[in-house]
Amino acid sequence: MHYLEQDDPEIAELVRREAERIETTLNLIAAESHTPHSVMAALGSVFNEKTIEGYPGRRFHAGCIHADAVEELAVSRARALFGAEYANVQPHSGTSANLAVYFSLLKTADRVLAMSLPHGGHLSHGHSASITSRCFEFAHYPVDPETERIDYDRVRQIAETFHPRMIVAGASAYPRLIDYDRMAEIAAGVGAYLMADMAHIAGLVAADVIPSPVPRCDVVTFTCYKTLMGGRGGVILAKGAHGDSIDRTIFPGSQGTSPVNAIAAKAVTFRRAMAPDFRRIQAQTIANAQHLAAGLHARGFRIVTGGTENHQVIVDVGARGLSGDLAEKTLERVGIIANRNTIPSDAVTPPSVSGVRLGTGALAARGMGITEMGRVADMIAAALMDPEDRQRLESVASNGRRLCAGFPVYPGERYDT
């Protein structure tokens, strides 16, 4: 902060304000967590200045002795952590990891079957706004309208008529476990590759508190900044036979130099994920989500799928006469940060969405448990009772600030100079 203050007081001030925002608000964004100092130290390290192209031992610039060691550690830790035959730690993001997988295993215009975006899938799974849909022909499977869960018989039916070369399992907004055994059976039945995108749940999988897709899939991709609590950036795990092709598709196929500082941060993240403390946080994350879902249900909210088995709780605020947008804004006014989301019953291009997606990874990372989830459920219910009631919102906000003060994110850290 000292150097930043000297060179750029404006950005330094924004960093201080952001740190304060993080400390004083309740982060329920399912796609975020709090980043450990060790990860930030690796991100801010001298490895930022090293230019590398290629892979350890096969680089295009000199001076890579320590960068090679960093990448080798990151790869071997990723493989050990997830029990994978092969890992590539160079993807700039989850989206670039997914693109590289499609271009490694498929020919352009090949068919891919993935989860529908409004039902929980991700843009990079062939959404019309994503370039993935311009390079490959995607079909999408819906969730069952009653249970709001994946209907595996329907996935099989679509696979049998669509004949995909690849099936994608994985979602951004789906609070239930995915049955990888059944997905693998369906894929095998139509001769398709199975890819899992575990971006959201990678931390839960690493801690072994939910089943891993790795044994049943040809390829598994993820990002490091969600439940895994790392920096930004993607990773590809695969069966050994796909390794050479994936390596070439990442470099030189679709990326140039790789950020060694980000790779170092990935290595730190994987090491932390092997520690007992990490497992405790991940188990708490699920317990918290289940408690929050039950608490909101008890306070009159309909929970999509009726509950949760991971870090996500998707609330149907439409059933209470609110739009997802208004709910998101109202919660932000009281210091509860979450995002509006489609729910399965929303139309394909809805004028407004009916859901709010809550995630408990960040609150568990700052030490909150089920007692605090009861308080959070109370605050959400009070805030959404009447978005016009200023006095009530004020009192909820001050409760929230008190709760945050008891659970510092970065204890002892001073962001002033």
Q: Interface with ligand PLP by CB under 6 A: which residues?
A: 31, 93-95, 122, 124, 170-172, 197, 199-200, 223, 234
Q: Which is nearer to ligand PLP, 362 or 383 (CB)?
A: 362
378's tokens:
């109370």
In the bound state, the residue with its beta carbon closest to ligand PLP is: 94
Residue 103 or 301: the one with the smaller Cβ distance to ligand PLP is 103
Question: Considering beta carbons, is residue 214 or 384 the nearer one to ligand PLP?
Answer: 214
> Which one, 198 or 334, has the nearer CB to ligand PLP?
198
**CB-CB contact of 193 with 218 (8 Å):** yes
3, amino acid identity? Y
Q: Smallest gap, in angstroms, from Cβ of residue 83 to ligand PLP?
A: 21
Residue 219's DSSP bridge partners are 195, 238
Task: In angstroms, give the least distance from the CB of 34 to ligand PLP.
Answer: 17
**Which residue type is seen at 32?**
E
Give 291 or 357: the residue with its C-beta nearer to ligand PLP. 357
Query: 406 is written with which tokens?
Result: 């008891």
Compute the least distance from the CB of residue 111 to ligand PLP, in Å: 20
Provide the minimum distance between the beta carbon of 35 and ligand PLP in the complex, in angstroms, as a whole number: 14
Nearest CB to ligand PLP, comparing residues 178 and 286:
178
CB of 126 to ligand PLP, least distance (A): 12
Q: How far is the CB of 414 from ligand PLP (least distance, A)?
A: 30
Looking at the Cβ atoms of 172 and 330, the one nearer to ligand PLP is 172
Residue 380 — left, alpha, or beta (φ > 0 → left; ψ -120 to 50 → alpha)? alpha
Q: Which is nearer to ligand PLP, 221 or 330 (CB)?
A: 221
Q: By C-beta, is 159 or 228 nearer to ligand PLP? A: 228
Q: How far is the CB of 232 from ligand PLP (least distance, A)?
A: 6
Q: Report the nearest approach of ligand PLP to the CB of residue 127 (Å).
A: 11
Of the pair 268, 334, the CB lying nearest ligand PLP is at 268
**CB of residue 290 to ligand PLP, shortest distance in Å:** 21
Find the shortest distance in angstroms from Cβ 132 to ligand PLP.
11
Alpha-carbon span 259 to 47, nearest angstrom: 8
Cα separation of 320 and 302, whole Å?
8
